Chain A
Amino acid sequence: MRSKALPAADLVRVRSGIYHDSVSLMRVSQALTALDGVEVAMVAMATELNLGLARELGFDLPEAEPSDLLVAVRAREPDALRAAEAELERRLAALATLREAGGAAESPPRTTRSAAAAAPSEGGRAAVVLVSVPGENAFPEALDAVEAGLSVMVFSDNVPVEQEVLLKDLAAERDVLVMGPDCGTAAIGGVGLGFANVLRPGGVGVVAASGTGAQHVTSLLDLAGVGVSHVLGVGGRDLSAEVGGRSTLRALRALDDDPATSLIVLISKPPAPKAAARVAEAVRALATPVVTALLGPGGHDLTSAAEAVLAALGRPVPDWPAWEVPQDGVSGDGGVSGDGGGGGGALHGLYAGGTLCAEARIIAAERGTFTDFGDDTYTRGRPHPMIDPALRLEALASVPAGDVALLDVVLGYGSDPDPAASLAPAVAEARARGVAVVVAVVGTESDPQGLTRQARAFAEAGATVFTSHARAVRHAVSLSGSTR
């Protein structure tokens, strides 16, 4: 360990031979920052980016390699610094124990290649690979999966498009599916991968760019009593001219061959013309009926996409549940509080979900400002807002009195285990300042967080809560001054 003498309140350490993923380390950073007397704590791998962030915070740093662990803590007094150091050791030890517990007697595999060699292949048990390493390192792991004949979900973003094309071409040769890159959610036979809602089993198979869009449509279907067979993400670029729908076409065929799937739903932004033609041709060749929902101006929103699926199934469209403040005059399940005051000012969309943010921009048609806190510019060096609410809390606190705040809350595995715990008090505070708050909750009753429990918590804090995001946006626009 290299150490450096600094003003009494700074602790800077560089350690070799320790690696933990960024999400785990950011949780350690968060825990240390939350300690009394600690101003800021950064525990991260010593990448250029993280070293830059630490220098911006004013830390004086020794030489470090990207494979080293960087610890930088600033406290108001030495006691707090010591407490932070003790907590750091405790948390790193806990992370190391977790890792060992996973490895049992044999040392754990170091690459996807050796993990695939160790995967059981007998007894009808299939393996799928979930890659979430940093984008610049995702290609080797995903390639290992495809070369081993396994389908792979690439959660990582920032994977170059030529690598995506290469992976997907090889996947066609090996008869496997590449989901992603930048694929946030998928579900295969009831197993949720990435950020995933707990959905009832059923016959609807979904192909989507994947992310909050697919989560929203499938959650609405779940609310309407319709279950899904599989959700296959293909990545946001799959229907671009460069990628040409390579994974979309394979996913469609896989669902067509799947006996559990009786209706296929394809959710996408309008594809590049050539990809669109290939997809249309493929859809015509399928035996299973397909609902194609193209999102965007003049096309579907996510709610109408779910409704189109219900129509195709001959099912009634339910009144999408909402929990509203009384004088807005919309019925909910009761349990509301707050006086409905505020509003009339500008609309501020504070988003965690990229697809939801894009949908809000389209529906609101420029009436308001919309920020996607899940965008790369906000997630550099910090966790995604679906895990860490800090940035959105800050943004909500700075919405001026009389304005309208619109937030999405995405439930499910992988997301914040209790988003209302941190966000609802902030909503109440905003309401007290005279800010109108509208929340769209994406999730199901079976999600670990529980849809109704979360929705009620936000309603009790004074927000108007919708399960249909499109309705939430329209409501928020109606509250804002831009329509008055």
Chain B
Amino acid sequence: MTPLALSGDLTVITVGADLLGHALDAQAVPQIAVDWRPPLPGTSAALAQVLADPRRAAANEKAVGRLLAARPHLVGVRRARDVLDLPPGTFLHAGPPITWERASGPLRGALIGAMLYEGLAGTPEEAEGALERGSAHLSPCHRHRTVGPMAGVVSGSMWMFEVRDAEHGGTAYCSLNEGLGKVLRYGAYGPEVLDRLRWMGDVLGPVLRDALAANGPVDLRALMAQALQMGDELHNRNRAATSLLVRELAPAIVEAAPERAAEVLRFINGNDHFFLNAGMAACKVSADTARDVPGSTLVVAMARNGTDFGIQVSGLGDRWFIGPAGVPDGLYLGAYGPDDANPDIGDSTITETGGVGGFAMAASPAIVRFVGGEVADAVAATRSMYEITLAEHPAYQIPGLGFRGTPVGIDVTLVARTGLLPVVNTGIAGRIAGTGQVGAGLVSPPASAFTAALTALAEEAVAVRGS
């Protein structure tokens, strides 16, 4: 039956006045009622311009198609300065660009720690003084094919996961995970933090490098798909993925470094989040393949620096659209409470950008406690994300939803139309530099980042049509 054929039974999709739906009920006509709400304030005109852009449909299909087709493989563990443009005194950080003056406590703490780790300062005070004077160069991870959790500070001596997209050939990097509690990425820089970093640099990095070289690349797409079916959502819960990674690499670790294998394996096993950084690099390399498609409204990065929440959009190059970072709503460790929390921070929202994390909550009933809710809330969170995404992931699936693919590919226009903001699972850093992690929970991005991107898309669409 062609769509225009006028015979057959009708189902009517109604959007708008309930009255017209009641008229259909009175005729006993099957109806699907859209729960329509007005778009985000002030976006109607820009929405019409962007949706009318003749490039949009094909551009989004192409962009999200690349995102879905990416096949991230963990191919190496490398020292940052060997693969990234990181001269001494240059530090990468999470989120959109920021200066020391505007940096929050945890980012400042992590930068102080990195200065100490690199030997660029002898004491925290000295490091702080140098940073205040502007002697360090700060650059966002995202600009360097890199992502960093929480503060996301990367310096030359740190070791990085190297992830390659076997489909399109791109590469992305993420540092190695230090564990929980007092760690650099949460802004802590005490002696135990620096000792651990040195051990990671001297032992963990080289051992993993050798093990991976002996083992060969690890298919992260397959591993993540498996972990989702084992109860991870791959942002706040990485227990299954970490276990799978260890299982895969353990023999090679033992063979590569029989003397050190026990401490390396003990370290990885002691940190349920060890996989997170590899997963982030996998999502980064996938999202990067969707960049720079003219006319596409697909979000290719969401990231926070502890002060601003920023997004990047495929059709708008490497421009950031920012709004104020919110304070997460969640559970706190020990005696910490909301007053101790820093605004949202970290590049780990690349997981939600890639269709896991908060978007895959329904796969992970075990973390619902962080939301302070029921399993049904996790299912509702995932379901609501289908409203703002362009596709369902062919590999990342949710058993509890009948193996439906996770919602993936955030569309700026759908966010503006529904007012539904991406659901983000996250850790919570202490507000004061040096504190470390204080909790974990859920956070909402600022709507203003999405409306700013929408406005820019509209301007670009009009400019292109006019030229």
User: What residues make up the interface of A, taking CB atoms closer than 8 Å to B?
Assistant: 19-24, 45, 65-67, 95, 98-99, 102-103, 106-116, 118-120, 123-134, 136-137, 139-141, 143, 145, 147, 149-151, 155-156, 160, 162-163, 166, 174-177, 188-189, 191-194, 196, 229-230, 250, 254-255, 257-261, 387, 413-414, 448
Contact = CB atoms under 8 A, between A and B. Distances in A.
A103 B414 CA distance: 20
A258 B15 contact: no
B16 A115 contact: no
Contact of A109 (B16, B380, B387): B387
Contact of B10 (A98, A155, A191): A191
B9 A126 contact: yes
Nearest to A415: B23
A261 B48 CA distance: 37
Nearest to A114: B387
18 contacts: A21-B19, A67-B37, A102-B31, A102-B33, A103-B33, A103-B35, A110-B34, A110-B420, A119-B32, A124-B9, A126-B1, A126-B9, A128-B12, A129-B13, A129-B15, A141-B15, A160-B48, A191-B27
B271 to A, nearest CB: 36
A413 B26 contact: yes
Contacts of B19: 21, 23-24, 387, 414
Given A125-B10, A254-B6, 12 more contacts: A23-B17, A95-B18, A107-B383, A113-B414, A120-B11, A126-B9, A143-B51, A155-B16, A189-B8, A191-B10, A191-B12, A257-B5
A127 B10 contact: yes
Contact of A137 (B3, B32, B44): B44
Given A109-B387, A191-B29, A254-B4, A196 B13 contact: no
Given A24-B17, A125-B11, A413-B26, A176 B3 contact: yes
Contacts of B27: 191-192, 413
The 3 closest A-B pairs by CB, nearest first: A132-B16, A413-B23, A108-B35
B199 to A, nearest CB: 48
Contacts of A65: 41
Given A111-B387, A413-B23, A413-B26, A124 B8 contact: yes
Contact of A141 (B21, B32, B36, B45): B36
Contacts of B10: 125-128, 188-189, 191
A386 B52 CA distance: 33
A131 B33 CA distance: 11
B4 A112 contact: no
Contacts of A19: 36-38
B386 interface: yes
B245 to A, nearest CB: 35
Contact of A133 (B8, B15, B386): B15
Contacts of B20: 130, 132, 155, 193-194, 414
A298 B6 CA distance: 34
Given A137-B44, A140-B47, A147-B57, A115 B7 contact: no
Contact of A192 (B5, B14, B23): B23
A259 B37 contact: no
B444 interface: no
Contact of A24 (B18, B37, B40): B18
Given A67-B419, A126-B8, A254-B4, A163 B35 contact: no
B201 interface: no
Nearest to A98: B18
Contacts of A166: 52
A207 to B, nearest CB: 12
Contact of A130 (B16, B26, B419): B16
A195 B237 CA distance: 53
Given A99-B35, A109-B32, A111-B414, A125 B9 contact: yes
Contacts of A106: 383
A21 B29 CA distance: 21
B148 to A, nearest CB: 34
A452 B51 CA distance: 48
Interface residues of B, number: 56
B34 A230 contact: no
A143 B48 CA distance: 10
Contacts, number: 215
Contact of B18 (A23, A140, A194): A23
Contacts of A109: 32, 34-35, 387
Contacts of B37: 19, 67, 110
Nearest to A99: B35
B7 A189 contact: yes
A53 B376 CA distance: 42
B48 A139 contact: yes
A89 B12 CA distance: 30
Contact of A112 (B5, B13, B23): B13
Contacts of B52: 139, 162-163, 166
Contacts of B11: 119-120, 125-128
Contacts of A115: 13, 15, 32-34
A259 B383 CA distance: 42
Contact of B6 (A133, A155, A260): A260
Contacts of A119: 11, 13, 32
Contacts of A149: 3
Nearest to A156: B16
The winner among B8, B19, B414 for most chain A CB atoms within 10 A is B19
Given A127-B11, A133-B16, A108 B34 contact: yes
Interface in B399-444: 413-414, 417-420
Which residue, of B2, B21, B26, B34, has the highest number of chain A Cβ atoms within 10 A?
A: B34
Contacts of A156: 16
Given A131-B16, A189-B10, A110 B48 contact: no
Interface in B167-226: none
Contacts of A413: 23, 26-27
Nearest to B42: A66
Contacts of B2: 175
Contacts of A113: 414
B23 A140 contact: no
A414 B23 contact: yes
B384 interface: yes
B324 interface: no
A196 B44 contact: no
A21 B12 contact: no
A162 B465 CA distance: 14
A115 B384 CA distance: 13
A137 B38 contact: yes
A181 to B, nearest CB: 12
A29 to B, nearest CB: 14
B41 to A, nearest CB: 5
B18 A126 contact: no
B13 A150 contact: yes
- Which of B24, B36, B44, B380 gathers most chain A CB within 10 Å? B36
B39 interface: yes
A107 B37 CA distance: 14
A415 to B, nearest CB: 9
Contacts of A160: 48
A417 B250 CA distance: 75
A414 B23 CA distance: 6
Contacts of A22: 17
A163 B52 CA distance: 8
Given A19-B38, A99-B35, A107-B380, A132 B6 contact: no
Contacts of A125: 8-11, 30
A160 B9 CA distance: 32
A229 B418 CA distance: 37
Contacts of A175: 2-4
Nearest to A133: B16
A108 B9 CA distance: 22
B418 A110 contact: yes
A259 B12 CA distance: 22
Contact of B38 (A66, A118, A151): A66
Q: Select the residue from A133, A150, A156, A188 with max chain B CB neighbours within 10 A.
A: A133
A351 B9 CA distance: 35
